[in-house]
Amino acid sequence: MPAFAALSRERHAHQGWKRHTSYTFTAKEAVVPLVGAELPKVLPSMPIAFIQEQTHYQLVGVLSLQPGSNLLVSASGQWLGPYIPVAWRTYPFRVLRPQGSEQSVLCVDEDSGLIIDAANADERFFNDQGEPGVAIRDILNFLTQVEANRVATQRGVDALARVGIIEQWPLQVDQAGQMLSVTGLYRINEVALNALDDQAFLELRQHQSLPVAYAQLLSMNQLTVLERLSQMQARRAEQMQAQQQANSLGDLDSFGLTQEDGILRFD
């Protein structure tokens, strides 16, 4: 589990971080949060959906139809899609708003395995004068822009919910020959969208909700991406299992009995 802590001189003055070269930290994530600005790049890569969180819906990219599985990352940690969502390109950093505060702060995942002593780090959090380093300032500036877009995106998603056009997305997945229903994903009801009156449609325009709605509808064709990746990974698992069995048989072949000079020997 991530352990995000606010970046501070008191806590991190003598630390830095290694840049991640693997996406294995996403291997058990079936969805990833999205912001509106990245939808044009996300659209060719994965299905887009909504999930329900307490009192609102959140816009997400769908990485697998099975919880705890990410089909877009390989066993070696390589990202398999053409676009890496911004939420993970900036790992182990995230801008979060502490409970009861109206101001967001830059946080770092202290359980990422990337936080090390400054002397051995790719980048230091703070320079010798105790000021944030150039890399930290760049990351904070970028994530501040992302956070502003996230807030705007959420307003758009909330407007879609208010006009009543978000519905459950009925999906099924084949698991060992058994078709199982997928729950917890939501989509745009296209019929309801097209039937909106002028006032509701204008509300969606005002909150920039329409690009989100249309992106979600268009992205549903990308379910085939998940199907192909699932089949590819299944074949890869079968090949690895067959190789392991072959190696075991090879070991048994070398463990044989031969007879020489009336003596049985283990080769």
Percent of the chain at pLDDT > 70 equals 89
pLDDT in tens, 29-39: 999 999 999 99
pLDDT in tens, 176-189: 677 888 999 999 99
* Total domain count, the chain: 1
Domain enclosing residue 206, as ranges: 4-266
Looking from the CA of 96 toward its CB, the CA atoms found within 13 Å total 15
Give dist(CA 22, CA 25) in Å, integer.
8
In this prediction, residue 230 carries a pLDDT of 85
Question: Mean pLDDT in the chain?
Answer: 88
In this prediction, residue 51 carries a pLDDT of 97
Tokens for 21?
Answer: 């070269």
Q: Output b/e per residue, 157-192; b: 16+ Cβ within 10 A.
A: bebbbebebbeebebeeeeeeeeeebeebbbbbeee
pLDDT in tens, 122-176: 999 999 999 999 999 999 999 999 999 999 999 999 999 999 999 999 998 877 6
Q: Output b/e per residue, 213-243; b: 16+ Cβ within 10 A.
A: bebbeebbebeebbeebbeebeeeeeeeeee
The pTM of this model reads 0.85
